[in-house]
Structure 1
Amino acid sequence: MRKTLSLLFIVTILFCSACKDKIKPGNVQPERKEVSGVLITTVASSAVDVFYETSGTVEAKNISTISSRLMGTVMKIIVKEGDKVNRGDILLIIDDSDVAQKMTAAEAGYKEAQKAFEISKKNRSLADITYRRYAKLREEQVISQQEFDQIETQKKIADIEYERSQQAVERAKAMQEETRVYHGFTRIKAPYTGLITAKKIDEGTMAVPGMPLLVMEDTSQYKIRISVDERLYKNISIGMPVSVLVLSTNDMKQGRITRITPAVDPTTRTFNVEVLVKGIPLRSGLYAKVFIPEGKKKTILVPNKAIVQKGQLRGVYSVNDKGVISYSLIKTGKFYGERTEVLSGLKDDDRIIVEGVEKAVDGGITKQ
């Protein structure tokens, strides 16, 4: 029993000694990790453009369905889907045997007409000389009026034959040119520089006038059809510049409005607008966002590299007046190139780390 009481007395003395040396609350300073190699900047609101955002599908400005203008067997297809072609390049060849025969006949007819014209020309010249001689003889009363009338009639007939043969040459030449044109139809050529997007026929198939053979599109210009809210009807105009973001390439380019539909859809309260984009390696069918400028507003923008993603959360490393670093959650808005709009979580004169964020530690302190 005495041993138990002695042990209890010793424990009580030790406990009291420990309580005597206890540190009062608020006197302990946490040990913070020192952070260096970071760049701190002060946040300030700035004026930015406000955009109305809509979307649409990219289409080539010119899409052509290439067809045959005559009937014939497709002998050779030179291009395939995806090929880039230049204006005037031969795309496919149609059997030209029938047209070639007609062209040969037309050339022979033209040569024959030329020979007939030369003969009529000489006859006319001879008739004219004879007429002048007989006219002189008639003045001298050497020949009778009947003889002179016969010579005069022969001259008129020679003049008529000359005109007929001249017209025959023109008709033969036109026929020859026509057959040459038809022969050109057997060589299907690209109407402009572009891209072959579809092949509708195979070699050995009979092509007929109006039958689709190939589909190609002009790759120099693309258009995007978009729907715009009716409140912007008075704010946009033809030629107005807009920004276009193609999501598949994440590339922002400039376009311009080329057409505005004069009527508003009463169901959707929107109207259609066509945007033309040049000089971008696009493809028909791509999804794109279009940003139409509305005005300006003041907002806080931070560099994209200053934003730190932690799971589903977004935040920045802020620094207080004592140099203590803390991870501050923010709500982001639109992107402006290399900067992002902050809707909440920051205010003017806040200080954040914009470079060296990978070195920052929540709860750390910046090296002075």
Structure 2
Amino acid sequence: MTYPVVRMDFSDEIVLDGSVEAIQSTIISSPDVNNSTIIYMIEDGTMVEAGDTVCILENQQLTDQLETVERLYEVYKAELNKGLADLELQYALLEAQVRNNETQMAISNLDSLQLKYYTPSQRRIAEIRLEMANIESRKLKKKLEALEKINNSELRKMELYIQQADILLQSIKDQLKQLVLITPKSGLALRGESDTGEGKIQEGEEAYPRKPLIIIPDPSQVRIKIQATETAYKRLSVGQKVEYSFDAMPGNYAQGSIAMKSPRVYTLSRNSRVKFFDVLATVDSSLQIPSAGLSANCRVFLNYLPDTVAVPIISVFQEDSINVV
């Protein structure tokens, strides 16, 4: 068996899987609230309009707090109304006593006009009654003043309780309102990655505070995230040229280069022993800008030698630690 030996351009290549992602994206994250559960999420890859609801969370703890505070709010309002009614009653009773005392004083004053006709003992009794009426009048006025101060203090306390409950009530309602996530812009809505390590986020999962739930990419600028095994990762270097093709866009090709190698290692499932690394590559030119979320076939050019002699590997032998043809 013979093989022709010719001069040709030699290219060492490796083909890896990747996906298109936007360089700039609008990220809709869960609010800064603990113990929230996803009960609704828009399907991955759905086109949305600004103002659409893309995710709804449930927080039973906040719901229970809302019911408790609403009950307290109603109790405080009822106690305030009762306090106002009691105050009005006490004022009415004291004012009746004041008017009765004023009547007694008026009668005593009329009697004082006849003091000159009284005997000394009768005059003394009338003077004592008048003095007693004056004392009672002063006592009633002090009671009114004290009652006003005490009740104003109690009413002010109840009003503060109501204000605090109202503030807390509004705060809980605001937090519950944040559990309904609305997109601020139109575009392609993509679900975030699940914390379970098994694909996209699903309904029923817990939404930790500030967790990215929905991503709306900007389609004008994209890059490729290459999924490299540990063996392939070691052969890749920043600056190596890459050529892309897309199964969802037949005939569309793009070119770029490796821009960054992430040191973070991960597996595709919990029980898998195969380690992967993310490698980011640029898209410098393309027939048509690919859409974020599409899968990409990435041909990485590891080494390129122009105009060299290439021989089949089957014809290479080793003699005295030297490769010979």
Q: Decide: shared fold, TM above 0.5.
A: no
TM-score by length of 2: 0.44
Going by fraction, where is strand more abundant, 1 or 2?
Answer: 1
TM-score by length of 1: 0.39
The structure with the larger Rg is: 1
Going by fraction, where is helix more abundant, 1 or 2?
Answer: 2
Q: Which has the higher contact order (CA 8 A, sep 6+)?
A: 2
